[in-house]
Structure 1
Amino acid sequence: MNILFTNAGRRSYLIEDALRLKRNYDNLGDIYVSDTSVMTASMWVSEDIKKIITPRVIDNPDKYLEILLNKSLKHNIDVIFPLMDFELPVLSENKGKFQKNGIKVIISDSKVIKSSLNKKRCYNVCNNNNIKTPKTWYEGEALDKSMMPFVMKKKRGSGSAGMRIINESDKIPNVVPDQYIVQKFIEGQEYGMDVLNTTNGEFLHCCVRRKALMRAGETDKAEVIYNDNFFEAGKKIGRAFGHKGNMDIDFIVDKDGNMKFIDFNPRFGGGYPFTKAAGFDYLRAMIENIQGNDVSFDRVGKKVAGAKGLKVFTYEK
């Protein structure tokens, strides 16, 4: 089984995990990493990594899809794990082209991807399933200025790009700008959650981390938390969305103890290393699941806290 991680960027921890699994599983073949340039950290985790260069998906989605499929066939790729938001809609709509060639793309159905990445659709799913979100205004809607401060973010944003807090009345737009949403700012503790579903979209497990520091839209310092209410919320989300594989989620607990969910990303995210450190090897679980094996986790794992470090990967030109 040859595995490809697409647009892996700085997610070297996933590639290191894949190499570790390869050493422990006789039927795992080569580990491939694709991105738009060889100057990509995850490509240089080990000399054993095989590299594939693709164009930027946002420049020409059709060309990206064509080249990715052709190179996957050339290198006998069996399984693809997409890791970037912008490629998810393209791959979810065209995963049948890969499946016809014996390539399994670990990605949710197109409807789930659209519902997750478009915040208006996402919050509609939440409202229909009693998953609490902050008060939200959508493009063209007038704001209730008495509810200031606000958070303004892109309707289809990735990470924290384009997000800003509005806390002065003269900076409040009369209506929400195109391609944006505005939310009531929730003061409280922010958490991240990984919700793992099987390849059939059935809930398997979730892990929650209390965020101590964010950097460039990703969790930098965190502590894994075990809380029955959080776990039940993760189970509800897994069943409501029916996604396949991992979903990276952000939520805030306000001063009254209410959970407010704000972001849903149907892929491995920046907080996953803390989930793995707590003893929940979701990548292994997905590989086992692909092979038709049942997987289970204990609800409670290790009590861990930690911070991401800095490691430089170099190569000779």
Structure 2
Amino acid sequence: MNLLILSPGTRVETVCCFVRQKNTCVVCADASEYAPALYAGDAHYLIPRIDEEGYLEAVMEICKKERINGLISLIDPEITLLSQQAEIFDSLNVKLIMPPKEAIENCFDKMKMHDFCIKNGIPTIPTYGTLASFEEGYCKGDIDFPVFIKPVCGSASNGVQKIETLEELQQELKQTEIFLIQAFMTGPEYGVDAYVDLISGEIVEFFMKKKMNIGGAETEKGHTIHNDSIEKIARDFLIKNNCRGPMDLDIFEHEGKFYLTEANPRFGGGYPFADACGTDFPKLIVNNLMGEINQPTDFEYQDHIKLMKCYSPVLVSPETQANDLKIAEYVQ
């Protein structure tokens, strides 16, 4: 089984979870030669950035050369781009490990996600797409300051700002029309790693953690939990949104109630915690690519296990750079 992981960046441990699978070749491709996880696979390619000429052609070249069976991306904008080219990869017999395009849009477009959740009775963070609608809600007492403003289709907390007053909000939104306004929540935050079978559409693995420390939009410390309310919210979204593959969800607790705030159709930065506690998403992916339907687990893992990240240096010798690191090319 040959797998291509695009934009692995710093996710060394996640790539290693794939490398450990039997009879599996893991190919990594990134736009930066300083992406440490690029060198964690069995083969390594440099490719253009997703907004540069030749990107798609380079990915297709790798798929053909390495006889790729399944393709995974670890960054949000790339997932959206790839989902729009699903027919091309189908023609190459390459399975995209991600939900359908419509489900992806409901994850990445925060306004669409809010509207989808409200329509389907899923508790979610109060969100406003225009200043006028926010001001109406503010006058009714439905929302108060402080609030967050963020890009409609942003990721990794890029562009997120905390706003304290209406005057500040009005001034900030004069400069752009692509931001939305969300309630500011101060309660505990929880992360869910789930795997939805690519064939059956059934949730077959589920892992939950309470976040204690977040750095660079990723969980650095936390501990395992089980919570029926959080599980119900996550299940409702995953099934009703027709999700597939690995999913990473964020849920806030505010005044004793839980609200879905983010849904990412990919491996989250905290997935290695789930793997260390006994889940194995890469094995589930390989099974699906071989035509096997995975059976649901009992989601059994111990509560209150402390979760902590540590960092290790990655050294790449000149010999590796000269002999092993390939540059994907394309025919103009």
TM-score by length of 1: 0.91
The one-letter code sitting in structure 1 at the alignment partner of 2:50 is V
Partner of 2:109: 118
Residue 95 of structure 1: CA displacement?
A: 1.8
Residue 295 of structure 1: CA displacement?
A: 3.1
Secondary structure of the residue that 2:247 maps to in structure 1? strand
User: Which structure 1 residue ranges, 5 or more long, are not aligned?
Assistant: none
Partner of 1:316: 317
Decide whether the 8 Å contact of 1:126 with 1:133 is kept in 2: yes
1:57 pairs with 2:56: no
Residue 229 of structure 1: CA displacement?
A: 2.0
Partner of 2:155: 158
Partner of 1:259: 258
RMSD of the TM alignment (CA)?
Answer: 1.8
User: Which structure 2 residue ranges, 5 or more long, are not aligned?
Assistant: 319-332
The one-letter code sitting in structure 2 at the alignment partner of 1:224 is T
Mean Cα displacement is larger for which, 277-286 or 287-296? 287-296
| Separation in structure 2 between the aligned mates of residue 289 and residue 302 of structure 1, nearest angstrom | 27
| Separation in structure 2 between the aligned mates of residue 306 and residue 159 of structure 1, nearest angstrom | 21
The one-letter code sitting in structure 2 at the alignment partner of 1:307 is M
Decide whether the 8 Å contact of 2:123 with 2:233 is kept in 1: no
Partner of 1:234: 234
Structure-2 change in CA distance of 1:85 and 1:125 (3 Å):
same
The one-letter code sitting in structure 2 at the alignment partner of 1:314 is L
Structure-2 change in CA distance of 1:205 and 1:129 (3 Å):
farther
Partner of 1:299: 299
| Separation in structure 1 between the aligned mates of residue 209 and residue 132 of structure 2, nearest angstrom | 34
1:94 pairs with 2:75: no
Secondary structure of the residue that 1:210 maps to in structure 2? strand
1:196 pairs with 2:195: yes
Partner of 2:97: 106
Decide whether the 8 Å contact of 1:141 with 1:175 is kept in 2: no
Decide whether the 8 Å contact of 1:249 with 1:263 is kept in 2: yes
Decide whether the 8 Å contact of 2:202 with 2:296 is kept in 1: no
Residue 203 of structure 1: CA displacement?
A: 2.4
Decide whether the 8 Å contact of 1:19 with 1:31 is kept in 2: yes
Trace 1:283-294 onto structure 2 (pairs within 5 A). Answer: 283-293=282-292, 294=294
Residue 221 of structure 1: CA displacement?
A: 0.7
| Separation in structure 1 between the aligned mates of residue 172 and residue 75 of structure 2, nearest angstrom | 31
1:78 pairs with 2:69: yes
Residue 174 of structure 1: CA displacement?
A: 6.6
Residue 175 of structure 1: CA displacement?
A: 8.5
| Separation in structure 1 between the aligned mates of residue 296 and residue 130 of structure 2, nearest angstrom | 42
Residue 140 of structure 1: CA displacement?
A: 4.6
Secondary structure of the residue that 1:143 maps to in structure 2? helix
2:129 equivalent among 134, 138, 149: 138
Structure-2 change in CA distance of 1:140 and 1:66 (3 Å):
farther
Decide whether the 8 Å contact of 2:9 with 2:37 is kept in 1: yes
| Separation in structure 2 between the aligned mates of residue 58 and residue 224 of structure 1, nearest angstrom | 38
Mean Cα displacement is larger for which, 197-206 or 68-77? 197-206
1:38 pairs with 2:29: no
Decide whether the 8 Å contact of 1:125 with 1:240 is kept in 2: no
Decide whether the 8 Å contact of 1:139 with 1:175 is kept in 2: no
Decide whether the 8 Å contact of 2:128 with 2:134 is kept in 1: yes
Q: Percent identity?
A: 25
Mean Cα displacement is larger for which, 235-244 or 161-170? 161-170
Residue 40 of structure 1: CA displacement?
A: 1.2
| Separation in structure 2 between the aligned mates of residue 118 and residue 69 of structure 1, nearest angstrom | 27
Decide whether the 8 Å contact of 1:143 with 1:174 is kept in 2: no
Residue 69 of structure 1: CA displacement?
A: 0.6
The one-letter code sitting in structure 2 at the alignment partner of 1:44 is Y
Residue 123 of structure 1: CA displacement?
A: 1.1
The one-letter code sitting in structure 1 at the alignment partner of 2:309 is K
The one-letter code sitting in structure 1 at the alignment partner of 2:187 is G
The one-letter code sitting in structure 2 at the alignment partner of 1:305 is K
| Separation in structure 1 between the aligned mates of residue 10 and residue 245 of structure 2, nearest angstrom | 20
Deviations along 1:157-189, one digit per CA (max 9) or x if unpaired, are: 111111111124442227954111111112211
**TM superposition outliers: structure 1 runs of 4+ over 6 Å:** none
Q: Which structure ranks higher in relative contact order (CA pairs < 8 Å, sequence separation ≥ 6)? A: 2
Deviations along 1:183-232, one digit per CA (max 9) or x if unpaired, are: 11122111111122111333223221100001011111111111122222
Partner of 1:128: 119
| Separation in structure 1 between the aligned mates of residue 39 and residue 205 of structure 2, nearest angstrom | 31
